[in-house]
Structure 1
Amino acid sequence: MKEAMRRANTSQPLEKEGSRTRRMRVKHCSICTQRIWFEPLTVLDPEDAPEPRRSWTLCKHCYNALVTELKRSKVHSPLRVRVAVGLVAAERWPLAYPTRLHMYVNDRRWIAILGFGFFIFMIVHLVFLVLIAGIIK
């Protein structure tokens, strides 16, 4: 497992052409999609895995779950890392099992978007009516 894991930088500098400002880009976990602030762990497919070789950037929680899954596995094939990542992703992916809280937050987000859309729609029509009233007068 050590040959498949390496440490990566948490942020990558992005430079715009002609700009003096530099932005840092925060990485996200490939499984749970949470931000990784400190020391993301990159897991690579073994050398003898079939093409295309994959790599995953993981947070510490997902990495620990992956290591536990790899220790549980008795099969030592080149695809065992991919299978273990798939099993961990089936458990830890945020949209795998929708919870009431997640559905509630999603519904609240849509309600806010619809309310904002109706408000903008109302303002545009109000301005349109005022312009028509000003032209007629």
Structure 2
Amino acid sequence: MEHITSTPTTKAPAERFTGDVHLNTIATPSEPGRLAAALVRFTPGARTNWHSHAKGQTLYITDGVGLVGTRDGDVVRASAGQIVMCPAGEEHWHGATGTTFMAHIAMLVGDENGDGTTWLEPVTDEQYAKALDAVTR
């Protein structure tokens, strides 16, 4: 057993996120379990780049209201206590709404090369605005 009392909060890298995003690592993928988990906090309007995960990803919303969008235009609005599951290989993004903070615990199973995430281009302001519009109609 290992008791970890805290992890430092770090600013998420600008090459993978738009806006102010901060994270606390919970678990890094290592044998035998390969679980990767982090508490990620998004300020209003902040979001990830497009990305996918080799073995999928589970997002547990802990605070606020967020969006999860896919390449085919589907958008889910999720609030505290809700869970969004992104299947393996699905290109998606997630972040806060334009007016609220959002925090989630992001969980995934890594592979032999690390966490199995493939990072892609930023979500454009137009794509983000379209997603916001889709969930407020």
TM-score by length of 1: 0.22
Q: Which has the higher helix share?
A: 1
TM-score by length of 2: 0.22
Q: Which has the higher contact order (CA 8 A, sep 6+)?
A: 2
